């Protein structure tokens, strides 16, 4: 059966008990890999050309330990280094943000290795800027960054959303990571191309459920699309909402998790009956 996972759940305060209930709600819905550390995805510090990076990752590590102690299968969520630099606000005049990569990457390498030491198997790295038209030097940076970060001994899922990969499809498909998530709600046209170009070892996560629309997902229509992916990918097929549910009302987020699980279960039943 295709694995059902989630990219992010509604943002809450630091209440540990409430966070634990949110994890349990997702698990009860049937989500296999629960996102942790997704609470700060849109909070970018201001940077300058001589920024001394000292990002605070301790809340992420604490959440991983907490969720694992409760018996959950977890997938930590971190913002990708290139999206971090692209989206952060710059102070102190014009400078080349890519020059900051050399100081930023050792921190990411440290984080990934520490998560691996905590027993994490998969980490989700959000790089939504892959759905933008990027200058060539930023495209080149993606290849360099992930050739460096691949050394950390855990599996990495690059998550893209809020649009299609378009001219970055080949770049995203061939990054040296273990999986790729794509948004098929806003960009259904990339489905066939990514199936054709995805390397044979890589997981493909398909975002077919619209996390921003309260209308129920058309399961029959989605299942029709999924049959080819299921036949070609088998256990390498994952299903998720198209984007994070961080900003969704709780009841809507639960509904969308349930729809993802229903898709995965229906696909499994179809495969068993075939």
Q: For the chain, give the secondary structure using H, E and C.
A: CCEEECCCCCCCCCCHHHHHHHHHHHHHHCCCEEEECHHHCCCCCCECCCCCCCCCCHHHHHHHHHHHHCCCCEEEEEECHHHHHHHCCECCCCCCHHHHHHHHHHHHHHHHHHHHHCCCCEEEEECHHHHCCCCHHHHHHHHHHHHHHCCCCCEEEEECCCCCCHHHHHHHHCCCCCEEEEECCCCHHHHHHHHHHCCCCCEEEEEEECCCCCCCCCHHHHHHHHHHHHHHHHHHEEEEECCCCCCCCHHHHHHHHHHHHHHHHHHHHHHHHC
pLDDT score recorded for residue 89:
63
Domains detected in the chain:
3-273 (3.20.20.210)
pLDDT score recorded for residue 91:
55
Pseudo-torsion of CA 128, 73, 210, 252, nearest 10°?
-120
Residue 205 tokens read as 């996560």
- CA dist 266 and 272 (Å) reads 10
- CA dist 223 and 263 (Å) reads 7
- CA dist 255 and 5 (Å) reads 14
How confident is the prediction along the chain (274 residues), in pLDDT tens digits per residue? 799 999 999 977 678 899 999 999 999 999 999 999 876 554 444 475 565 666 678 889 999 999 999 999 999 999 999 999 998 765 555 668 898 898 899 999 999 999 999 999 999 999 999 999 999 999 999 999 999 999 999 999 999 999 999 999 999 999 999 999 999 999 999 999 999 999 999 999 999 999 888 888 888 888 888 989 999 999 999 999 999 999 899 999 999 999 999 999 998 786 666 5
Q: How far apart are the first and last CA of the chain?
A: 13
253 touches 193 (CB < 8 A): no
Beta-carbon contacts of 167 under 8 Å, excluding residues fewer than 6 positions away, are: 133
pLDDT score recorded for residue 55:
66
Angle of the 250-273 helix axis to the 219-233 helix axis, nearest 10: 60
pLDDT score recorded for residue 45:
47
Half-sphere exposure of 32 (CA within 13 A, CB side): 15
Q: What is the largest CA-CA distance in the chain?
A: 63
Residues in the chain: 274
Residue 199 main-chain phi, psi, to 5 deg: -60, 150
pLDDT score recorded for residue 109:
94
pLDDT score recorded for residue 57:
86
Angle of the 250-273 helix axis to the 16-29 helix axis, nearest 10: 30
pLDDT score recorded for residue 214:
85
């Amino acid at each position: 059966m295709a694995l059902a996972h989630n990219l992010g759940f509604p943002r809450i305060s630091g209440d540990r008990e409430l966070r634990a209930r949110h994890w349990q709600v997702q698990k009860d819905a049937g989500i296999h890999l629960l996102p942790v550390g997704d609470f700060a995805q849109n909070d970018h510090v201001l940077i300058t050309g001589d920024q001394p990076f000292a990002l605070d990752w301790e809340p992420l590590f604490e959440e991983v330990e907490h969720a694992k102690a409760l018996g959950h299968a977890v997938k930590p969520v971190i913002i990708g280094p290139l999206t971090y630099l692209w989206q952060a606000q710059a102070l102190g005049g014009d400078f080349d943000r890519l020059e900051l990569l050399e100081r930023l990457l050792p921190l990411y390498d440290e984080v990934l290795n520490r998560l691996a030491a905590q027993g994490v198997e998969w980490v989700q790295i959000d790089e939504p800027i892959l759905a933008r038209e990027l200058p060539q030097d930023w495209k080149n940076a993606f290849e360099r960054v992930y050739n460096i970060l691949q050394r950390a001994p855990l599996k990495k899922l690059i998550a893209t959303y809020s649009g299609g990969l378009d001219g970055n499809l080949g770049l995203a498909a061939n990054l040296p990571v273990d999986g790729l998530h794509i948004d098929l709600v806003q960009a259904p046209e990339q489905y066939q191309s990514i199936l054709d170009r995805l390397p044979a070892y890589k997981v493909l996560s398909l975002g077919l459920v619209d996390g921003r629309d309260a209308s129920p997902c058309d399961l029959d229509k989605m299942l029709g699309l999924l049959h080819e992916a299921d036949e070609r990918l088998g256990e390498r097929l994952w299903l998720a909402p198209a984007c994070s549910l961080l900003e969704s009302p709780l009841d809507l987020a639960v509904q969308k998790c349930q729809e993802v699980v229903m898709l995965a279960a229906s696909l499994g039943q179809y495969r068993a009956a075939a």
